[in-house]
Amino acid sequence: MDDRGLREAVRDRGPQEAVRVHDLTRKFGDFVAVDRAGFDVREGEIFGFLGPNGAGKTTTLRMLIGVLPPTSGEGWVAGHSILTEGEAIRRSIGYMSQRFSLYGDLTVDENIRLFGGLYEVTGARFKTRREWILEMAGLGDRVSQLAASLPLGWKQGLALGCALIHEPPVLVLDEPTSGVDPVARRSFWELINRLAEAGTTILVSTHYMEEAEHCNRLVLMNRGRIIALDTPEGLRGRMEEPLLELRTSNPPVAVEALKGSAGVLEAAMFGRAVHVVVEHEIRARQAMPSLLEARGIALEEMKRVLPSLEDVFVTLVRREGGAVEG
């Protein structure tokens, strides 16, 4: 089957499939950045990519948006092949990166007009989309301000608006809220949820666990491979080891004391508490009080808790050999 036939076959499967990836691989010399990734993304789905630095998230997204050719494998985005139709993909999607990707020496209005021209959004449609961007980003009274002088939250709002000016069916977000304050981040995600409800497919990579909770499904990547793909709830259900939450007089020292101790798989700060993943709950409950007391740490409370997405993230990466160092 030729590329046209494959594309038509993908479209015939129905509107629920906006992205399809099969055995996608990218090598840089002997280094395998992405190793046989495969997944489907439904129309209107918020699909997240989680993983430590160097896991392959950004490389995967760059292949999907048609700017980095895969070494092997295949994929389709919005019905277009990533192997042969990179330009068609780039015109069919919106893309926003963690770095401010607009033109700082142009005004807000000039940036909007530039992207309108690039995506051939003209006339009455451009006027409508321009007004929507200004309202969405809260930039109505800043149209003449240079983009470089905007606070980061407004910069990201403008970048998102320009990525959406042509109303693409697929929006790709690579660490979109890195460095943005919590209030602006919440507003950003409220908009993303509204876009998905209206049918836009969202692909997003993030380091923020609370953002990952907004995703309908997530892939967890480590060392270039997909090690888990599920809903946030489903991922939490994969953690079989007991998780204990400790309240102590000195949490940082408690983490240091517990790491590497017999029966302790992971120990990390979780807010003001300490989360400890253990092999056996009863043995851990018996051993940890004296272990902490020997370091002069008072144990105030210990209880078993349900895992957070962060707990699952750390545990699954550990099972797969840990994150890449350096």
Residue 312 lies in a domain: no
Do 89 and 202 fall within a single domain? Answer: yes
Do 171 and 63 fall within a single domain? Answer: yes
Do 169 and 37 fall within a single domain? Answer: yes
Using pLDDT thresholds of 50, 70 and 90, give the confidence band for residue 134: very high
Residue 10: per-residue pLDDT: 44
Rounded average pLDDT over 35-44: 96
Rounded average pLDDT over 271-288: 95
Residue 75 lies in a domain: yes
Q: How many folded domains does the chain comprise?
A: 2
Residue 326 lies in a domain: no
User: What CA–CA distance (Å, rounded) separates 235 from 20?
Assistant: 21
Using pLDDT thresholds of 50, 70 and 90, give the confidence band for residue 45: very high
Do 53 and 147 fall within a single domain? Answer: yes
Do 114 and 203 fall within a single domain? Answer: yes
Cβ–Cβ under 8 Å, residues 279 and 263 = yes
67 Cβ neighbours under 8 A, 6+ residues apart: 86, 90
According to DSSP, the residues that pair with 48 across neighbouring strands are 204, 218
Residue 324: per-residue pLDDT: 63
Do 166 and 185 fall within a single domain? Answer: yes
Do 126 and 10 fall within a single domain? Answer: yes
Do 125 and 267 fall within a single domain? Answer: no
Do 41 and 134 fall within a single domain? Answer: yes
Q: What is the CATH number of the domain that holds 291?
A: 3.30.70.100
User: What CA–CA distance (Å, rounded) separates 136 from 227?
Assistant: 37
pTM given for the model? 0.85
Do 113 and 213 fall within a single domain? Answer: yes
What SS3 class is residue 232?
helix
Containing domain of residue 263, as a range?
240-306
